[in-house]
Chains A and B, each alone.
Chain A
Amino acid sequence: MTLIILLLGLGVGVLVGLLGIGGGVVLVPAMVYLLGMDQHMAQGTSLLILLPPIGILALREYWKQGQVDLRAGVLCALGMLLGAYGGSLVALPLASRNLKGMFGCFLVLCAILLWRKAQPESKPMAAHGESARG
C-alpha cells in the first residue's frame, strides 16, 4: 500500500511539472479509486499535499527559461487563498455523493477548457472572442 502511494506521488509529480498544475485534479480521483477514500477525505488530503511548495523544483525549470510572470503569479496566489476558503465552506456541508458528482462535472469542464486552448493559435483574435463567451 505504501509503495502504491509513493509511486502515485511520482506519477502525479510528472504531471505537475509537465502541465504546470497543482496535481490535485489527478490526486483526488486517484485517492478515491486507488486508495478507496471518501470524497471529502480525498479532497482534504489533497489540500494537505498542496500545502508545501511541491511545484518549486518544476518552477525553477520554468524560471530558467524566463517563462514566468511573477506579478500575475502573486496576484493569483492572493486571489486563490481567499477563494479557496470560500470554496471549502461550500463543499463541506454537501453530501459526499453529490460532491463526487460535482467533482466529475468540474473535471469535464476543465477538460473542455484545456482542449480549447489546445487548438492551434493561428487566429488568436477569433479564438479569443469565441472563448470569452464559452
Chain B
Amino acid sequence: MERAPVAKGIGRDAGIFVVACVCGVASGMFGIGGGVLLVPLLALLYCFSQHRAQGTSLVALIPPTGVLALLAYAREGFVSWKTGLLLIPGILLGGIAGARLAKKLQPQRMRQVFSGILLALGAWQALSAWWQ
C-alpha cells in the first residue's frame, strides 16, 4: 500500500483528481457542494491539516463545479429559482462569520458536533424515506 502523505508530483495530483471525481459524483447525485466529503478525504488520504483541508475545499468550491449537474436538474424542472436566490446572500454573509469563528474554536470539538448532527439528520432522513 502506498503511503499517500509522501506521494509527490504527478501521482499525488492524479490521486487528488480521482478523489475529487468521486466527490463530484456525490455532489451531482445529492445536490451538494462536495466539500463535506472532500474535507475529510483530503485530511485522511493526504494528511492535510484540518484548517488547510477546509481552505483548499473552499478553493474547489469557488468555480461553478456544479453547473453541468444544475443544467441537468433544470432540464427536468427540479430547481426552485426563487428560494435559491433568496438563500444566497445569507450564506455569503454567514460564511465570513463562520470563518472568523473557526479560527477561535477548537476544530476537534467543532467537527464532532457537526458529525453528530449529520448522523442524526441522515438517519432521520433515511428512515422517513423508507420506513412508512
A and B physically associate = yes
A interface vs B, CB < 8 Å?
2, 5-29, 31-32, 35, 37-38, 40-63, 65, 67-92, 97-98, 100-118, 120, 124, 128-129, 131-132
Are A18 and B24 within 8 A (Cβ)? no
Are B125 and A51 within 8 A (Cβ)? no
B 90-123 to A, binary, CB cutoff 8 A, 1 in contact else 0: 1111111111111101001011101110110111
- Asked if B63 CB lies within 8 Å of chain A CBs, one says yes
Contact of A18 among B16, B21, B105, B124 (CB under 8 A): B105
Question: Would you give 24 A-B contacts (Cβ < 8 Å), ordered by A?
Answer: A11-B90, A12-B90, A20-B53, A21-B36, A24-B36, A28-B32, A44-B73, A47-B28, A73-B59, A79-B18, A84-B65, A84-B66, A88-B69, A97-B129, A100-B126, A101-B126, A101-B130, A107-B125, A108-B118, A115-B112, A116-B44, A117-B40, A117-B50, A132-B1
- Closest approach, in angstroms, between the C-beta of A83 and any C-beta of chain B? 2
Contacting residues, chain B, for A110 (C-beta < 8 A): 36-37, 40, 115, 118, 122
- Closest approach, in angstroms, between the C-beta of B38 and any C-beta of chain A? 6
Give Cα A89 to B73, complex, Å.
9
B interface vs A, CB < 8 Å?
1, 3-5, 13, 16-70, 72-74, 76, 78-81, 83-103, 105, 108, 110-112, 114-116, 118-119, 121-130
Contacting residues, chain B, for A12 (C-beta < 8 A): 87, 90-91, 94
Q: Give the one of B32, B57, B108 with max A CB within 10 A.
A: B32
Are B36 and A17 within 8 A (Cβ)? no
Contacting residues, chain B, for A2 (C-beta < 8 A): 86
Give Cα A40 to B73, complex, Å.
8
**Further contacts, 16 of them, CB under 8 A, given A13-B93, A13-B96, A17-B95:** A28-B31, A44-B80, A45-B81, A53-B62, A59-B99, A61-B96, A65-B51, A77-B60, A79-B24, A80-B27, A82-B21, A83-B27, A87-B30, A92-B78, A101-B126, A131-B44
Are A113 and B41 within 8 A (Cβ)? yes
Are B29 and A118 within 8 A (Cβ)? no
Q: Considering the complex of A and B, which 10 residue pairs feature the smallest CB-CB distances, nearest first?
A: A22-B33, A13-B94, A83-B24, A9-B90, A17-B98, A20-B54, A43-B31, A87-B28, A107-B122, A79-B20
